[in-house]
Structure 1
Amino acid sequence: MIRIQNVEKNNLISATISGKISKEDIEKIHPLIHNIVKNGDKVDFFFELVDFKGFDLKGFWEDLKVDAIHISDYGKMAIVGEKEWQQWSAKATDVFTNSEVKYFDLTEKDEAKRWILNQ
């Protein structure tokens, strides 16, 4: 499940992600990406992973499609997690995109917020 958080930075999508991500979850984020891109901005992300279990098949496919369309529209990504595999996933994302991706442990959540907000 993806729960979108309200933020004051116009080009930032902030969400808490738990359980398995579904196609419907990705469909919540896609219009937010479009709204930021149409304003000429890069899309920054702040994702807090809490008891995150990955994607279901339709969610994974939908995520791939959205990423294929918007990969050049992504800016910075702060991924806050609790598992070693999440850190490896963040490193892989950093390698395969032009985005600046940083992984933070849950204990570093405040530091992650400062980094994504450029403070």
Structure 2
Amino acid sequence: MIHLLNSEKENLISAKLSGKISKSDVEKVHSRIHEILKNNNKVHFYFEMEDLDGYTLKGFWEDIKTDVSHLSDYGKMAFVGNNKWQEWVANATDFFTSSEVKYFDLKDTAEAKQWINQ
């Protein structure tokens, strides 16, 4: 599930991720990406992952399609989690994009928020 959070920056998508991410979750974020791109050049992301079990198959496919169509629209990405696989996902994202990507441990959420808001 993706629960969108309020953000002080108009070009930042801030969300808590938990459970399984579905196709409708990704579509909600994709819609927000388009809203931001109307007024900004880049979309930044802050994802706090707690008790995240991954994706449904349709959710995974929708995320891949969304990312492929918007890779050049992404700016900074902060991944905040507590599992080694989440850090690996952040590192893989950094490798495949031109975005500035950082992984933070859940205990460092204040540092992550400060970094993404700079």
User: TM over 0.5: same fold?
Assistant: yes
Q: Deviations over 1:39-79 (max 9, x none)?
A: 13200000000000111100000001101110100000000
Equivalent position of 2:3 in the other structure? 3
TM-score by length of 1: 0.97
Report the Cα distance in structure 1 between the residues aligned to 2:41 and 2:32, rounded to whole angstroms.
12
CA distance in 2, matches of 1:92, 1:68: 14
> CA RMSD, aligned part only?
0.6
Runs of 4+ in 1 over 4 A off after TM superposition: none
Q: Which amino acid aligns with 2:50?
A: V
Partner of 2:108 in structure 1?
108
The number of residue pairs the alignment matches comes to: 118
Write the deviation string for residues 75-109 of structure 1: whole angstroms up to 9, x where unpaired: 00000001011101100000000100000000100
Q: CA deviation at 1:36?
A: 1.0
CA contact (8 A) 2:2 2:16 kept: yes
Q: Give % identity.
A: 62
Q: What amino acid maps onto 1:64 in structure 2?
A: I
Give the TM-score of the pair, scaled to structure 2.
0.98
Gaps of at least 5 residues in structure 1 are none
CA–CA separation in structure 1 for the residues paired with 2:3 and 2:40: 25
Could you list the runs of 5+ residues in structure 2 that have no partner in the other structure?
A: none
Q: Distance in 2 between matches of 1:15 and 1:52?
A: 12
Q: Distance in 1 between matches of 2:100 and 2:108?
A: 17
Cα distance in structure 2, aligned partners of 1:107 and 1:89: 18
Letter in 1 for 2:55: F
User: 2:11 touches 2:40 (CA, 8 Å); kept in 1?
Assistant: no
CA distance in 2, matches of 1:30, 1:92: 20
Give the aligned partner of residue 76 of structure 1: 76
Deviation (angstroms), 1:33: 0.2
2:97 corresponds to: 97
